[in-house]
Amino acid sequence: MLKLTERREVFAVLALLLISAVIIVLQYFYLERSLVIDSRSALRAEVRDDRPFNGASVSAIRQDQRGLEMSCDLIKSDFAWPYCEVVIDLSRGELDGVMQGVNLTDFDRVGLWLQQGDKIQPSIRFQIHNFNPIYSKMGERETYKYHAVEFYQEFNTYPLWIDLKSFHVPTWWLTLHQLSLNNVAVDLSNIVTLGFVTGSRVEPANYQLTIERIEFRGKLFESASVFMLLIGIWALAAVVFLSQRFTLARKDLAQVKRQKQVWEKKATLDPLTGAVNRIGAHKAFAKQIYSANKSDDFSIIFMDIDHFKRINDSLGHGVGDKVLKQFVQLLRKNIRDSDMIVRWGGEEFMLICHNTALSPAVRLAEKLRAVIQAESWSEAVVMTSSFGVAQMRDESLENFIERADQALYGAKNNGRNCVVPAP
């Protein structure tokens, strides 16, 4: 069963996948810009032919609801390259001596809706003309940079879509104008005219060409930008995910540390009385022995409840447990915060006293002995306790504890309810 956080992460990943899929679908199929030129556009068009070059071809143009219809009588003559051409003007006036046209750099393909008459032209040349003040002159159309692509009837479709990358600058135009390398490439930034010209394989005849529609299409957003956006979204999601994971890991680690401390504390406490057990006592001994101030006075007091077995035997272990709890509570009320109560075993307890020499430890033991004797105990039990006290010398821990234990036995042998210091 997934945790709530894990379920949220799964939902977030699924949401990101869905968003990414929607963005990709929109990018490839829907998010497009278009520029349409058809009969509904305010077209400005004219025809040109080879007569200015001593040719004999004659072209004419007519505009109706279908679009632009060019009629061409292509005639052989002394001119080597007879042609007819229809030119569509896209210019938008002049600004500071620069012809203002249409920027086609945001488009990646052009669609052509063309119809031919009974006599089919084997090939048609489509031209796009750019105005750039570096090499173009107002009113001199030959100085507008030519971008051309020629397509053949056997490969035509309706409509015919052409990738704008297929256009090239004709070699004859580059040779004629001798541009620097910086200006020889395709430039669609300021298109002022479009042209349809009879192709290079066209034989003399009468041709009809109807231009119904021209449409430039391009992505509303560049694919590279869209994919960078997707990468950015996923990268941001990864950062958020890792940040949350890091935060959760820190919280989990803190929780583990707290739980560890709880279990460590439980592991060092006696579950009945809440006093420290032997494990906790040995940790306290190790801390004292290996501390920088291990030369400070250090004493322990062994305590044993007198005749405790009689309480269990006569009144039951339940009463015995109550007595033990009350015993520890009474000790806590009469010792310092720095002193540690240890349940050493059964009814035997130890008091670890840091920074305490033997004499103050003996006085504390006498105080506790009197307090225990004067206490009102559960079930009207009469209680006393015997004490053995020792101060640590230059000796092993085992020897130190053994001396205190022997002092306790001395107190028991002396009739109990007394304090005996270790020699």
pLDDT tens across 58-99, in order?
999 999 888 999 999 999 998 888 999 999 999 999 998 899
Backbone angles phi, psi at 336, to 5 degrees: -80, 160
Q: How far apart (Å, rounded) are the C-alpha atoms in residues 410 and 418?
A: 9
Backbone angles phi, psi at 335, to 5 degrees: -125, 175
- Residues 223, 24: contact at Cβ < 8 Å? no
- Which pLDDT belongs to residue 295? 57
Average pLDDT for the chain: 91
> What average pLDDT does range 350-362 have in this prediction?
95
Q: How far apart (Å, rounded) are the C-alpha atoms in residues 145 and 195?
A: 12
Catalytic annotation present for 347:
yes
Q: How far apart (Å, rounded) are the C-alpha atoms in residues 383 and 93?
A: 116
Other CB atoms closer than 10 Å to residue 310's CB: what's the count?
Answer: 11
Long-range CB contacts (within 8 A, 24+) of 24-28: 24/226, 24/230, 27/219, 27/221, 27/223, 27/226
> What average pLDDT does range 259-279 have in this prediction?
87
Q: What distance separates the 2 farthest-apart alpha carbons in the chain? A: 148
Other CB atoms closer than 10 Å to residue 262's CB: what's the count?
Answer: 10
- Which pLDDT belongs to residue 294? 58
pTM above 0.75, yes or no: no
List Cβ neighbours of 374 (8 Å cut-off, separation of 6 or more): none
- Which pLDDT belongs to residue 40? 80
Q: How far apart (Å, rounded) are the C-alpha atoms in residues 162 and 359?
A: 107
- Residue 293, pLDDT > 60, answer no
Q: Which of 369, 385, 396 shows the shortest CA–CA distance to 324?
A: 385
Q: Of residues 9, 154, 222, 347, which has the active-site annotation?
A: 347
- Residues 388, 302: contact at Cβ < 8 Å? yes
**Apex CA 356: angle with CA 271 and CA 333, to 5°?**
45
Token couple for 403:
């001396």
CA neighbours closer than 13 Å in the CB half-sphere of residue 224: 0
